[in-house]
Structure 1
Amino acid sequence: MLDAAVKALTQILSPPMRSILWRSIGLALVLITVLAVGLQRLLAWFATNGEAWLEAALGPGFHTSINVLAWIVSIAAGLGIVLGGIFLMPAITALVASVFVDEVAEHVEREYYPAEQPGVALPLGVAIPDGIRTALLTLLVYVIALPFVLFLGAGFLIFFIATAWLLGREYFQLAAMRFRPPAEARAMRKHHAATVFTAGLFIAAFVSIPIVNLATPLFGMAFMVHMHKRLSGSRPELIEPARKTGVPVA
């Protein structure tokens, strides 16, 4: 697993990947800016107007609870785009990955598995909805965990574990669906759930690093291509000599 992570890190900086890297970063910056500004304005509206509306809807018995919630939201609104940039990045990278999945996977397969049958490109109608579902699920988990961040600090651990689980399953399924039907890819992911989650911890650590995390779609996808190959029974220790000699691997 560590070897797969090192190979992914090395390859995302290689010349063939640079075009994908810059396009991925550009799309991520556009999405993160739009969503972060939207989040900041939504929070600001709730902090100023939403409190009265919510109390009128729920009744005076919820006054204290609503005051506490408004206080939390006021703090969040004050953090603005910075808050959005931190907490939305995993969701954004999941969506961006669904756009560039095939370009990244093809480079990895061509470089490290030239003797094996290449994967089949995923239709955008399959990849993008999968990325959207993961992004929305990520946002839901983060909204639930946010109060724990503000009050207990344990929310950061919840964020990290949730990110590992969500992004691990997303990137693995994208890699697997190049070779398997969606149902079979999901079944394989569930069968190797512990391994996929552990691999997801690498991606969660990567996406936690500011600036560097803009390259998460490339790292996560390249990493999970290697993981899928290993779990499928590929033998990279034999593929490396094949790359040098041209001898096909049985």
Structure 2
Amino acid sequence: MLNAAVKAISQILSPPMRSILWRSIGLALVLITVLAIGLQRLLSWFAEYGEVWAEAMLGPNFHTTLNVVSWIVSIAAGLGVVLGAVFLMPAITSLVASLFVDDVADHVEREHYPAEQPGVALPLAIAMTEGVRTALLTILVYLVALPFVLFAGAGFIVFFIATAWLLGREYFELAAMRFRSPEDAKAMRKDNAATVFTAGLFIAAFVSIPIVNLATPLFGMAFMVHMHKRLSGPRPELLEPARRSDVSVV
């Protein structure tokens, strides 16, 4: 697994990948700016008007609780852009990855697995659906964990574990769906849940590094292409003709 991570890191810096890298970084910066500003505006609105609305709905007995929630949200709104840049990055990388999944996978397969049959490009609709679903789920999980971050350091552990699980499953399924149906890819991911989650920890660590995390779509996809190959094992139909004949003789 460490070897796969090293290969992925070295390849995202290679000349063939640079064009994809710059395009993914540019798109990620645009998306993170738009979403971070949107988050700040939303939290500001909620802090100002949400408390009044919630108290009218729940009654005066919840006044103190709502005051505390409003205070938390006000702090979050003040840090909206910063929080957005940090906590929304995994969601952003999910969206960006869905657009560049095949470009990255093609480069990895050609360089490291030239003798094997290349994967089939995913339909854009499927790739985008997976990316949007993971992005929305990531935002939901992070919003649930946000109060724990503000009150206890354990929240950061929740963030890290959630990121590993979410990004690990997305990147692995995207890599697997180049060779399998979506149903088979999900089944394979479930059958290897522990390995995929452990691999997701590498991606979670990568996405937690400022600036460097802009390259997460390339690293995550390249890494999981290697992991899918490893978990798939040798398949006779993908071997070179000479090796296929050896297998048949055995």
Instruction: Please give the TM-score of this superposition, normalised by the length of structure 1.
Output: 0.94
Q: What is the CA–CA distance in structure 2 between the aligned matches of 1:55 and 1:84, rounded to whole Å? A: 27
| Cα pair distance change 1:248/1:97, threshold 3 Å | farther
Q: What is the CA–CA distance in structure 2 between the aligned matches of 1:38 and 1:105, rounded to whole Å? A: 32
Specify the alignment match of 1:12 in structure 2: 12
Q: Displacement of 1:249 after TM fit? A: 5.1
| Cα pair distance change 1:194/1:150, threshold 3 Å | same
Q: Displacement of 1:152 after TM fit? A: 1.6
| Cα pair distance change 1:73/1:176, threshold 3 Å | same
Q: Contact 1:12–1:218 (CA<8 Å) still a contact in 2?
A: yes
Q: Identity of paired residues, percent?
A: 80
Q: Displacement of 1:5 after TM fit? A: 0.2
Q: Do residues 99 (structure 1) and 95 (structure 2) align?
A: no
> What is the CA deviation profile of residues 26-71 of structure 1, one whole-angstrom value per residue up to 9, with x for unaligned ones?
1111111111000000111111222112211221111011000000
Q: Contact 1:32–1:89 (CA<8 Å) still a contact in 2?
A: yes
Specify the alignment match of 2:196 in structure 1: 196
Q: Contact 1:91–1:138 (CA<8 Å) still a contact in 2?
A: yes
Equivalent runs, 1:30-109 vs 2, <5 Å: 30-109=30-109
Q: What is the CA–CA distance in structure 2 between the aligned matches of 1:230 and 1:57, rounded to whole Å? A: 54
Q: What is the CA–CA distance in structure 1 between the aligned matches of 2:226 and 2:83, rounded to whole Å? A: 33
Aligned residues: 241
Q: Displacement of 1:79 after TM fit? A: 0.6
Q: Do residues 157 (structure 1) and 157 (structure 2) align?
A: yes
Q: What is the CA–CA distance in structure 2 between the aligned matches of 1:232 and 1:139, rounded to whole Å? A: 31
Question: For structure 2, which runs of at least 5 residues remain unmatched after alignment?
Answer: 245-250
Q: What is the CA–CA distance in structure 2 between the aligned matches of 1:142 and 1:195, rounded to whole Å? A: 23
Q: What is the CA–CA distance in structure 2 between the aligned matches of 1:157 and 1:28, rounded to whole Å? A: 24
> What SS does the corresponding residue of 2:157 show, helix, strand or coil?
helix
Q: Contact 1:115–1:249 (CA<8 Å) still a contact in 2?
A: no
> What is the CA deviation profile of residues 58-94 of structure 1, one whole-angstrom value per residue up to 9, with x for unaligned ones?
2111101100000000110111200100000001101
Structure 1 runs (4+) deviating above 3 angstroms are 247-250
Q: Do residues 132 (structure 1) and 129 (structure 2) align?
A: no
Q: What is the CA–CA distance in structure 2 between the aligned matches of 1:5 and 1:112, rounded to whole Å? A: 13
**Partner letter of residue 181 of structure 1?**
S
Q: What is the CA–CA distance in structure 2 between the aligned matches of 1:120 and 1:148, rounded to whole Å? A: 42
Q: What is the CA–CA distance in structure 2 between the aligned matches of 1:249 and 1:107, rounded to whole Å? A: 24
Question: For structure 1, which runs of at least 5 residues remain unmatched after alignment?
Answer: none
Specify the alignment match of 1:170 in structure 2: 170
> What SS does the corresponding residue of 1:210 show, helix, strand or coil?
coil
**Partner letter of residue 163 of structure 2?**
T
Q: Displacement of 1:234 after TM fit? A: 4.0
Q: Contact 1:115–1:248 (CA<8 Å) still a contact in 2?
A: no
Aligned Cα root-mean-square deviation (Å): 1.4
> What is the CA deviation profile of residues 183-229 of structure 1, one whole-angstrom value per residue up to 9, with x for unaligned ones?
00000000000000000000000000000000000000000000000
Instruction: Please give the TM-score of this superposition, normalised by the length of structure 2.
Output: 0.94
Q: What is the CA–CA distance in structure 2 between the aligned matches of 1:122 and 1:26, rounded to whole Å? A: 22
Q: What is the CA–CA distance in structure 1 between the aligned matches of 2:101 and 2:242, rounded to whole Å? A: 26
**Partner letter of residue 171 of structure 1?**
Y
